Amino acid sequence: MMLRIAFRQGRGGLVATTAIAAFNGIAQSLGYAAIAGHSPATRAAFAAQMELVGRQLTFLLPVPAQVETVAGFLQWRHFGTLPLVYGVWALLAAAGAARGDEERGHVEQWLAAGLSRARYLVSRVAVFALLATVSAAVTCGATLLGTAWAGDALPLAGLVAQGIALVALSVCCYAIALVVTQFAVTGRTAAGIGAAVLGALFLIAGAARSGGFEGVASLSPFWQYERSRPLITGGSLDPTSVMWLFGVALLGTAGAVVLFARRDLGSSALPRRVSRAAPVRDPARRITLRLPVIAGIDRQATGLIAWSIGLSALGIFLGSLLPTMIRLAKEVPIIRVIVLRGGSGDLDAAFVGAVWGSSALLVLSSYVIAQVAAWAADESEGRLEMALSAPIPRWRIVLERIATLTVGASFLVLVASVIVGTATRAQGLSVDLAKFAAASALLVPLVVTCGAIGAVLIGWRPRAAVWLLGLVIVASYFIQQLAPMFGFNDLIRHLSLFELYGTPLLDGPNWRGLAIQVAIIAVGFGTALFSMSRRDIAR
């Protein structure tokens, strides 16, 4: 029974992760054939350029090898990226199993039905392992299909071995996250702490590739995963590292079981301070809770600080790679073509625009998804019903959401752009400050555009809104990223919302795109206002 419930709980993550990973496999296989060509000479030339790039990107990806073959390229570019995708899935699944279901009261019910705590956690780990196996199998199958479609071939045994390594890494990350989340109280904090720990382990592996943290690198599951390189000639599945990953998964599960058994349901594994404060009978005096819009910002103050730190850190990290990337672009024509999108211009501005623009857009879009998820939760958790029991018109809810989203996004953009702008100048890159400020400011309308689409979806299908908006944003990101590589025509490129942002650092503001954004915002929020005024508020 528990296994069936756990399987149902994990379906969403399975579908999303497998879709992303399988799509990546097909896209990378086809992309390789499209860019590297089919002759040994073109592939050798491509490999020479990619190895140069790869050596400079070891912070993010494994060291490339045998990139002149499709197997070597996929080992590096596809299976080197997947640890991030599967790591995020493992983290979210573990936080949901350990804390989300507990928060919703499900765990209490299951335990009351006679299930032991140990059996509960072990069955969740077992089901995740099963789901990860299914996902890895589908991903490997899709990758095989992609290479066959491109007229190439992959060693089947190597692909199976790669799948095993991927499953081992996923289960290991899941177990580590399961242990860490025992120290949190809510699903959200659990995901935050888990992300910090797994992120640190990922960075240790990245640093070890460049000669740092070598002493502790073997403690990172991501480093262990990279010991296996079964796709390339002479490479194989490293049994020691796979055993290590499964061993840590077992130890982690056991540790999580012990911590879960020792703590109270709904509490952290850390000892809790007993409050001896006198009871409070008065409403909070904070004026910010009583003001329209400001109350919405007050509600998400901690989250906004976390988002701005994350966005700034990402900006600084990517900024630190820029000088190397620009130096490389001067040596590797293909990168220049991709970054300048076939045109010509200032390489510094093009790189800052491509790296800062696209990563900021992705992070800010995730912020919009989080906001839309909060709007959906307001309704499903009864807060909207309570707000509407006060004498306020329904349209005020929609307007406050727009205003809160705009203020929040502006705050994030302001903080992150100041930090990233300063870091960029410190790197010695020549970027026009006014253009950089304008390019950063133009991120805000795009965030509000995504919010307008989210507002329409919330009015139409509140429960599906988050998934649908996520789909729109992921599709927009992939279309934007893959368009230069595959030479997509304008029709497909214009399907990406991010295309509306343009390349403001390079070409100035995209006025046409801005006008379309304003139109989407007006129509979207107009529709949301109409829908909010007409529909039933239900839970």
Partner 1 sequence: MRADRPPIATHRLTKDYGSGRGIFDLDLVIDRGEVFGFLGPNGAGKTTTIRQLMGLVRPSRGSAEIFGLDCQRDSVEVKRHIGYLPGELPQYGGWKGAEVVAYLAGLRGNVDPGEVRRIAERFELDLGRTYREYSHGNKQKLALVVAFMHRPELLILDEPTSGLDPLNQHQFHELVGGAIARGASVFLSSHVLSEVEQLCDRAGIVREGRLVALAPLAELRAAKEREVEIRFASAPPIERIRALDGVTVLESTGPRVRCRVRGSIAPLVTVLRDAEVVDLVTHEPTLEQAFLSFYSA
Query: Rule CB under 8 A: which residues touch partner 1?
Result: 185-186, 266, 275, 277, 279-286, 289-291, 295, 381-383, 385-393, 534, 536-539
Q: Taking the complex as a whole, how short is the minimal distance between the CB of residue 396 and partner 1, in angstroms?
A: 9
Q: Taking the complex as a whole, how short is the minimal distance between the CB of residue 346 and partner 1, in angstroms?
A: 47
Q: Toward partner 1, which CB reaches closer, 4 or 290? A: 290
How far is the C-alpha of 346 from the C-alpha of 341, rounded, in Å?
12
Structure tokens at 404: 């809160």
Q: Taking the complex as a whole, how short is the minimal distance between the CB of residue 92 and partner 1, in angstroms?
A: 18
Q: Taking the complex as a whole, how short is the minimal distance between the CB of residue 233 and partner 1, in angstroms?
A: 54
Give residues with Cβ within 8 angstroms of 210, minimum separation 6.
58, 59
Q: Toward partner 1, which CB reaches closer, 74 or 190? A: 190
> Which stretches of 332-393 are DSSP H helices?
333-339, 347-352, 358-380, 383-387
DSSP 418-457: HHHHHHHHHTT----HHHHHHHHHTHHHHHHHHHHHHHHH
How far is the C-alpha of 264 from the C-alpha of 243, rounded, in Å?
33
Q: Toward partner 1, which CB reaches closer, 313 or 386? A: 386
How far is the C-alpha of 402 from the C-alpha of 130, rounded, in Å?
42
Q: Toward partner 1, which CB reaches closer, 391 or 428? A: 391
* Helical packing angle, 156-181 and 239-262, nearest 10°: 20
Q: Taking the complex as a whole, how short is the minimal distance between the CB of residue 277 and partner 1, in angstroms?
A: 6
Q: Is 404 exposed, middle or buried (0-12, 13-18, 19+ CB in 10 A)?
A: buried
Q: Taking the complex as a whole, how short is the minimal distance between the CB of residue 385 and partner 1, in angstroms?
A: 6
How far is the C-alpha of 337 from the C-alpha of 486, rounded, in Å?
12
Q: Toward partner 1, which CB reaches closer, 450 or 466? A: 466
Q: Toward partner 1, which CB reaches closer, 383 or 463? A: 383
Q: Toward partner 1, which CB reaches closer, 300 or 359? A: 300
- For 495, how many CA atoms within 13 A lie in the half-sphere containing its CB? 13
Q: Taking the complex as a whole, how short is the minimal distance between the CB of residue 270 and partner 1, in angstroms?
A: 16
**Does residue 236 sit in helix, strand or coil?**
coil
